[in-house]
Amino acid sequence: GHEEGFGFLRNSAIDQHLLARKRENDLLPVIRRHPQLLGVGIDEATAIVVKGRTAEAIGKSKGLFYDLALEKTL
């Protein structure tokens, strides 16, 4: 399955080609099943640079973050 990765980002689920392949909603079922995870979607020709507790998308497109903890407060 897709339960384990390289371990670069702990407690996260990562998906790629997010906008180019219209996969914006693909992470939602994963983080709903595992609400402790932060969903990270990265588009083509884009990277996410993580420094401590902050992140920045660099490249030609965007990165999106999905956090169910925030969903409950909005």
Q: Tell me the domain boundaries of the chain.
A: 12-71
Burial letters 6-26, b for 16+ CB under 10 A, else e? eeeeeebbbbeebbeeeeeee
C-alpha span between 50 and 36 (Å, rounded)? 19
* pTM confidence score: 0.81
pLDDT band for 72, please (50, 70, 90 cuts): low
Q: What would the pLDDT profile of 19-65 be if each residue is shown by its tens digit? A: 999 999 999 999 999 999 999 999 999 999 999 889 999 999 999 99
